Amino acid sequence: MSTAVINVTELATRIANGDKIVVADCRFDPFTPGAGAAAYAQGHIAGAHHLDLGRDLAAPMGETGGRHPVPAPGAFTALMRRIGVDADSLLVACDGGGLAAASRLWWLARYFGHARVAVLNGGMAAWQAAGQPLETEPAATGAGDFTARVDHSLRVDFRELCDPDNRPLLIDSRDALRYAGIEEPVESCAGHIPGAVNMPYQESFDADGLLRDAEAQRERWSWLETTEQQPVIYCGSGITACVNLLSLELAGVKGARLYPGSWSDWCQQGSEVATGNE
């Protein structure tokens, strides 16, 4: 599997060998503030640092930009240095197992110029199921030398999507009911960006909750071979879309970009809404 993903056995082996690894525990519950920190306190991978989705992996919400804006380069630099990330560190992102927050950190690290980053396949659920050890002591503050260097080619913003006649290929990562506008539990409007195709991020996983292998990911995205457009991925607020971006990475599809503001920004901007299955 791609170096963008690491499995439990490999991570445990590399930690035991003393490899230069920084583990970031990004567990969260969108409906229960503090749940991730509580889970971390109850037990985590040795040396792992806890990162909060809202506080660490997003900037404060504004009038536009969606619910989880991308952090400023300076803020992300400070965060990575605090958890001890150097330019040559392998950063391993994990969460409870759904990989939304872990994939968000994976995307952010790459966006800010750190290529040595991988997502733990199956997250803490897989780690614990494998009987790997946990510790409860919080990790000490680090002093890394990471410096953010923004790669603007990995994202698009609202202004680039405004013209309906020149809109890129958009992929909506939410479930079918939210895409169709039948349900909308969070945002101020229901539906999807006109012209977007629905590819729920949950389809990236197999029945055991692990990421499907590269061949299965290629099959999932094989329909992209019929277009020369580079896809733009979005979701509710730029979090679960990162799982689809990870899926595309595993499939070997290059050039996919994130619309970080996603549906929440689209609604904030008062833009045209489509409903139904097209």
Regions of the chain short of the pLDDT cut 50: none
121 with 251, same domain: the answer is: no
- Distance separating alpha carbons of residues 229 and 231, to the nearest angstrom: 6
143 with 234, same domain: the answer is: no
Provide the β-strand partners of residue 192: 274
Tell me the CATH number at 228: 3.40.250.10
Of 142, 12, 130, whose CA–CA distance to 83 is shortest? 142
pLDDT single digits (tens) 48-79: 999 999 999 999 999 999 999 999 999 999 99
- Distance separating alpha carbons of residues 147 and 151, to the nearest angstrom: 13
How high is the pLDDT of residue 2? 67
175 with 232, same domain: the answer is: yes
104 with 140, same domain: the answer is: yes
Residue that finishes a domain, picked among 150, 173, 198: 150
Backbone angles phi, psi at 197, to 5 degrees: -100, 140
Query: What residue numbers bound the domain in which 260 lies?
Result: 155-268
The number of folded domains in the chain is 2
Of 93, 82, 86, whose CA–CA distance to 141 is shortest? 82
Residue that finishes a domain, picked among 101, 135, 150: 150
Q: Is 274 within a domain?
A: no
142 with 235, same domain: the answer is: no
Residue that finishes a domain, picked among 150, 165, 195: 150
Q: Is 44 within a domain?
A: yes
- Distance separating alpha carbons of residues 146 and 114, to the nearest angstrom: 8
Q: Is 166 within a domain?
A: yes
- Distance separating alpha carbons of residues 22 and 91, to the nearest angstrom: 5
The 3-state secondary structure of the chain reads: CCCCEECHHHHHHHHHCCCCEEEEECCCCCCCCCHHHHHHHHCECCCCEECCHHHHCCCCCCCCCCCCCCCCHHHHHHHHHHCCCCCCCEEEEECCCCCHHHHHHHHHHHHCCCCCEEEECCHHHHHHHCCCCCECCCCCCCCCCCCCCCCHHHECCHHHHCCHHHCCCEEECCCHHHHHCCCCCCCCCCCECCCCEECCHHHHECCCCCECCHHHHHHHCHHHHHCCCCCEEECCCCCCHHHHHHHHHHHCCCCCEECCCHHHHHHHCCCCCECCCC
138 with 202, same domain: the answer is: no
Indicate which residue of 26, 94, 189, 235 is catalytic. Answer: 235
Active site residue 235: yes
Q: Per the confidence metrics, is the pTM higher than 0.85?
A: yes
